[in-house]
């Protein structure tokens, strides 16, 4: 692709007509170096409420850079990023941090659970610094999130007593507890065997079925194929993949 910024997903599948959750407009990131590295070329990407989008690319293609921007962990050096209509590039750090807590649920390859706490405590603790969840509702909301991921019977188990798949479900419950607008997943099946990975991907299908906006970043084409829309990233350039007929 040559010329101006890549334009990806002006109208998405599934969420067509729904309000945009993610709007990147000419957004790019160059690490200052020296030498400077243009890790994300200016791109335009729209993800609407209720979409399930995967972003796939090999190592070094710019996935982490894009994830950091989408997750409000880094600010693009060019262009804008609107999340639920708020231009995140124009607000102070404090507000960006609040937006991150209120709007985004992160799921990582490593589960990052506290080993000596129960599943319920792990999920509830995630809300301590998050004003989106009132203090008195923490445990009830954590229980609700664990029920949502099929772990109502494991709330009192601690991570060493949970299987890999159950740990990732706890991590997904933790991501859901503040009722975010966007579930942002980074290689979420990277530490799981094929069968367990499938059950976690099936859970994402369910969450998407419930209306959750899901964005998965992966190097794995099989994981990428689960999205209703796939965007390829290569050398920092985003390219929408043609939809596969159902």
Q: Within 10 A of 103 (CB to CB), how many other CB atoms are there?
A: 20
User: Per DSSP, what are the bridge partners of residue 214?
Assistant: 52, 183
Contacts with ligand ADP, 126-145, as mask; x by CB under 6 A: --------------------
CB of 151 closer than 8 Å to CB of 139: no
Work out the burial of residue 4: count CB atoms within 10 Å of its CB; fewer than 13 is exposed, 13-18 middle, 19 or more buried.
exposed
Q: Which is nearer to ligand ADP, 31 or 108 (CB)?
A: 31
Smallest gap from Cβ 129 to ligand ADP, in A, equals 26
* Structure tokens, 37: 């590295």
Q: Which is nearer to ligand ADP, 24 or 146 (CB)?
A: 24
Is residue 39 a contact residue for ligand ADP (CB under 6 A)? yes
Smallest gap from Cβ 173 to ligand ADP, in A, equals 26
Is residue 61 a contact residue for ligand ADP (CB under 6 A)? yes
Smallest gap from Cβ 192 to ligand ADP, in A, equals 19
The label of the residue with tokens 């689960």 reads: 226
Is residue 65 a contact residue for ligand ADP (CB under 6 A)? yes
Smallest gap from Cβ 184 to ligand ADP, in A, equals 14
Size of the site for ligand ADP (CB under 6 A): 11
Is residue 100 a contact residue for ligand ADP (CB under 6 A)? no
Per-position DSSP letters for 122-187, written without gaps between them? HHHHTTTT-TTS-GGGHHHHHHHHHHHTT-GGGTT--GGGS-HHHHHHHHHHHHHTT--SEEEEES
DSSP SS3 for 92: coil
Is residue 60 a contact residue for ligand ADP (CB under 6 A)? yes
- Closest to 151 (Cα-Cα) out of 111, 180, 185, 183: 111
Is residue 63 a contact residue for ligand ADP (CB under 6 A)? yes
Q: Which is nearer to ligand ADP, 19 or 60 (CB)?
A: 60
Interacting span for ligand ADP (CB under 6 A) from 31-39, 87-95, 128-136, 137-145 = 31-39
Binding positions for ligand ADP, rule: CB under 6 A: 31, 37, 39, 57, 59-65
């Amino acid at each position: 692709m040559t010329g101006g910024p890549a334009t990806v997903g002006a109208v998405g599948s599934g969420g067509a007509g729904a309000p945009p959750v993610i709007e990147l407009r000419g957004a790019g990131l160059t690490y200052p170096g020296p030498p400077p590295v243009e890790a994300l070329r200016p791109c335009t990407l729209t993800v609407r409420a209720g979409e399930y989008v995967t972003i796939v690319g090999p190592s070094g293609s710019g996935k982490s850079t894009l994830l950091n921007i989408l997750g409000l962990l880094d600010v693009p050096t060019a262009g804008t990023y609107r999340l639920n209509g708020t231009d995140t590039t124009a607000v102070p750090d404090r507000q960006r941090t609040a937006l991150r807590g209120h709007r985004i649920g992160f799921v990582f390859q490593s589960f990052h659970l506290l080993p000596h706490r129960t599943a319920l405590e792990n999920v509830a603790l995630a809300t301590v610094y998050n004003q989106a969840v009132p203090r008195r509702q923490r445990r009830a909301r954590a229980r609700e999130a664990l029920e949502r991921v099929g772990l109502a019977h494991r709330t009192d188990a601690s991570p060493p007593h949970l299987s890999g798949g159950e740990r990732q479900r706890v991590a997904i419950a933790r991501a859901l507890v503040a009722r975010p607008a966007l579930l942002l997943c980074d290689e979420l099946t990277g530490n799981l065997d094929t069968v367990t990975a499938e059950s976690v991907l099936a859970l994402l299908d369910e969450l998407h079925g419930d209306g959750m906006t899901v964005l998965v970043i992966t190097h794995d084409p099989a994981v990428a194929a689960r999205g209703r829309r796939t965007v390829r990233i290569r050398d920092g350039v985003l390219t929408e993949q043609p939809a596969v007929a159902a």
